[in-house]
Each structure stands twice: as C-alpha cells, then as structure tokens.
A and B are shown apart, each in its own frame.
Chain A
Amino acid sequence: MMQYEIPDDLLYAKTHEWARVDNLDVTLGITSYAVEQMDKEIVNIELPEKGRIVAKGESFGVVDSVKAAFDLYSPVNGEVTAVNKSILNQPEMVANAPYTEGWMIKIRMSNAHDLDDLMKSEKYKTFLESEEH
C-alpha cells in the first residue's frame, strides 16, 4: 500500500478529515489520503462563514477535484470560529500542505465527548489499509 503522511498528534475521521484539538477549539482539514484520492489536484473549495453552527456529521463544505466533488463533514457539534480564506483562492495549498497551511476551519466544540468517535493515527492507518482492499 502507498505510504501516507499521518501525523501522530491529530485525530482522524472515517471520512478523512483530521482534527487538531486545543481544549475546546478544534482545527479541521483533510488528510493526505484524501488529497491522494483527488489526484492531488484540488481546484475549488467551499467553506462556511464564521459564526455558522455546525452539527456533528453535517456537511460543512465541499472540495472539488477535476473530476468530482467531495463533501467535508464536521466530526463535532459547535460554532465556526475561524475560516482559512487563503485556501479559497489558492486551493492547491491544501494538496501541498494538508496539515499546515491547508487547514480549513476552526470550530469551538460544544461537547468534548464528540471526539470519542475519532481515531488516533495508528488506528487511522489500519483503517486506510482496510479501505484500500
């Protein structure tokens, strides 16, 4: 199987979003696996406005590759407190640096238990192996 960069300090969703947790503040982005699924070509991104309330499991945005659109799902309930506007005009930043400059939104969680369903890096790697077969 292909090797993907899966940082140890993040949590992961089955829908290939990553979450960086700082108390109740959660930064979200998409994993290098998701980027690879899009042919490493991201041509359009749509994100919510700051202040929007998102529900766990709800689609909060869209990432387009040349060929298809991929929904982005929030792993937590909460309010959007920041949006990375710079990737809207430079969507290739997400493909180039999915865990750093390519972050998407920050959410203030309303319930930290929402994180319980997310995977640690080792579990996510195992999950990817099962996805590839």
Chain B
Amino acid sequence: MKRSMLYTWQKAHDAKMTEFAGWEMPASYTSISDEHITVRQMAGLFDLSHMGRIRVRGDDRIRFLQYVFTNDMEQLSEGGIHYGFLCNPQGGVIDDVTVYNAENYIMIVVNASNVTRVYNWLMIHAPNFRIEIEDSSISILMLAIQGPRALEIVNEVGGMDYGTIKKYTFTVRQIYRAKAVISRTGYTGEDGFEIYCGSMYLPALWERFLDVGKNVGLKPIGLGARDTLRTEACLPLYGHEIDEQTTPIEAGLDKFVKFSKKDFIGKSALNFSSQAEFARRLVCFEMLDKSIPRPGQIVIFEGETIGKVTSGTFSPTFKKGIGMAYVDQIKAKPDTPIKIQQRDKFYEAVIRHRPLYKRRKT
C-alpha cells in the first residue's frame, strides 16, 4: 500500500490507519465525532496526499478542458477554480474534479481512486490538442485546513492576510518555507483552504500548522470525519453518489454542466437526460427513528421501493442518522416521509432540503 510522507508522524500520533484507494491513511486520531466537532467549531488539518494532481500545459489547454470537462472554461479567469465533471459519452461520470486555471498550466485535482483512470482518459483525448499532460501527484502534495478558525491560522503561518482569496479562487504565494498554491476550497461545508506544495515542504508545513494552530484548537483529522463532514454538507463522494453509471443531472449537480458550451464529451446524452422526466434524483434525508442508515439499504415510500441509500452515517452535529439516496424523481421532494429498510425492519425517515448542514455566514 502507498503511504503519505506524513505516515511516520501519523503513526507516532496514534492514528488508526485504514486502507483507502490503495493508500494507508489515518481513519481517525481521537474519534470521528471529536474530530468532526473540532472542524465544525474550530479547525482541522487534513493530509490529502492520496488525491491526484494532474497538470496540463500547452497552447490548447483551455480548449482541451473545454472538451473533456463539463464546466465552462471561458468563464474561468486566471486564478479561478471550477468544480465539474469528466464524463463519458453516455454522460456517466469518469470523475468529479476541481480545475485550477494557473498562469501557464491547468491543474486538475482528482479523486484518489481515479488517478490512473483520469490520466488515461485525458491521454486518449489528447492527440488532437497541443498539450502535455503530467501526473504531478507525487511531486506536489496537498493538505487542507477547514473550519471557522482556519483563516486566522493560515494568516499566522503565512504572516499575511489570505482573507483576500475569495471562495473558489487561488493564489500562488509563499507560505512558511514553501511556495504554494493556496485555494479557498474544501470538502467539509466549512470555510477553509487547500494548500499545494512541493513534496519536500509538506512535513515541515504540516507541523508548523499544528504548532501555530494548537492555541485555537487545531487538530489533525482522519478520513472518517472527512466522510461524516461531507455527508452532512451533502457533497458527493465518487463511488457512492456518482460513478460511470450516474450522470451529474441525476446527482442534482446540473449547475456544473454548461450546455451553452459548443461541444464537450457527454453533452448530447446529458442534454437529453436533463430534459427527460428523469428516473431518479439524489436526495438527502434524516432519520426520525434512532437507527443509522448505511449504503445499499432500500428506500421505501408507501410500501413501494423507490430507491437506494448511497451514503449513510451517524451525524455528530445533529446526533442522529443521516444519509443520501437516489429515489424516483417524482418522490424526491423535501418533507416526503420515507422508510429505510435495514435487514427485516423499516425505520422512519424524511427527505430534507439539501444540504443538511450549512455553515452560518460570518
């Protein structure tokens, strides 16, 4: 299994390790709930070494992304970031990615489980474009700091104000000893930053953050809490809410698919499906009974099967079971009472507005 450069540090700090997409990564350090609440109330630091970072250079890089990516690169100025999808011709999702438009390259941040697939997918479509594609996942590493206190910690570590970096934009700046890409992005439903730096700088930057942040409660966070945080915020996880058999339209993420663009892979299939009375839609729900929903369980409405749970967990914020599920579109309305089948029992739940958790704006 692959290990992060922080592996030794993680083991020395009592991380319980887990296998994720071929990587041995921390599942938790203290407990999932404790780490979850830390991020919601103070700030948490995430090692994201396992995620993929692919860079595209060359004159045709914008035109290339315009073709393989569902969001509109014409609407993305330098220093901007778009979330969106790489789709197959049927509209199924190869991966959900964030695309960074830098001065002389584009960086695509991809899911750990999809790095090789995405790289190969891009290479297949590259020959008609003047571009070079490089997998920089080893040379450029990545951490995230998330939570209401993230900004002040980043400011203190960097010795300047990073508050000018707006949501979904980035800047290339010195932070501590590293020249880094610093973006106002994340996967927790909180304010925060993702920081990309050369691999040799990561361990020192990691420790510097924890040292500076400990006064305001910064802690290292494992993948367990990363999953509960994103589930409360109803952010999709590849392999659960989206995959090659799922379209962004079904997942309710149509705003990241720009049909006004001339052409892109999957456009006609997605356009057709967005106008169809679609078979299923992604919803979020909360349990009314005490039980905790889990992926794969069946969703029932008035005695009929209407869908399946994609993610389910105990919510440390709401202290109850929550989840996401695909259900028949016609039933996919907030306040719809549903039942979740677990073994031979049926537990009451209700569809809610998405997202379940939304941070209070400060």
Residue from A43, A59, A62 with most neighbouring chain B CB atoms (10 Å): A43
User: If the complex has contacts A64-B292, A66-B224, A67-B227, are A43 and B314 also in contact, measured as CB distance less than 8 A?
Assistant: yes
- Chain A residue numbers with a CB within 8 Å of B28 are 39
Shortest CB–CB separation between residue A29 and chain B, in angstroms?
Answer: 20
Chain A interface size, as a band, is 10 to 19
B31 at the interface (CB under 8 A from A): yes
- Decide if B224 touches A64 in the complex (CB within 8 Å): no
Interface size on B, residues (CB 8 A): 20
CB closest chain-B residue, reference A42: B314
- Chain B residue numbers with a CB within 8 Å of A81 are none
- Decide if B294 touches A40 in the complex (CB within 8 Å): no
Partner of A44 from B31, B32, B227, B321 at Cβ < 8 Å? B321
Assembly CA distance A64 to B321 (angstroms)? 10
Partner of A66 from B32, B290, B342 at Cβ < 8 Å? B32
Shortest CB–CB separation between residue A106 and chain B, in angstroms?
Answer: 22
Assembly CA distance A88 to B27 (angstroms)? 26
Instruction: Give 1 or 0 for each of B315-340: 1 = CB within 8 Å of chain A CB.
Output: 01000010000000000000000000
- Identify whether the interface residues of B are mostly helix, strand, loop, or mixed: mixed
Which chain A residues numbered 78 to 106 have a C-beta less than 8 Å away from chain B? 88
Cβ-Cβ contact count across A and B, 8 Å cutoff: 46
- Chain A residue numbers with a CB within 8 Å of B290 are 44, 88
- Chain B residue numbers with a CB within 8 Å of A44 are 290-292, 314, 321
Partner of B292 from A39, A40, A69, A88 at Cβ < 8 Å? A69
- Chain B residue numbers with a CB within 8 Å of A39 are 16, 27-28, 31-32, 224
Shortest CB–CB separation between residue A68 and chain B, in angstroms?
Answer: 7
Assembly CA distance A66 to B224 (angstroms)? 9
- Decide if B316 touches A66 in the complex (CB within 8 Å): yes
- Chain A residue numbers with a CB within 8 Å of B343 are 59, 62
**When A and B form their complex, which 4 residue pairs have the shortest distance between CB atoms, in order from nearest?**
A66-B32, A43-B314, A64-B292, A66-B314
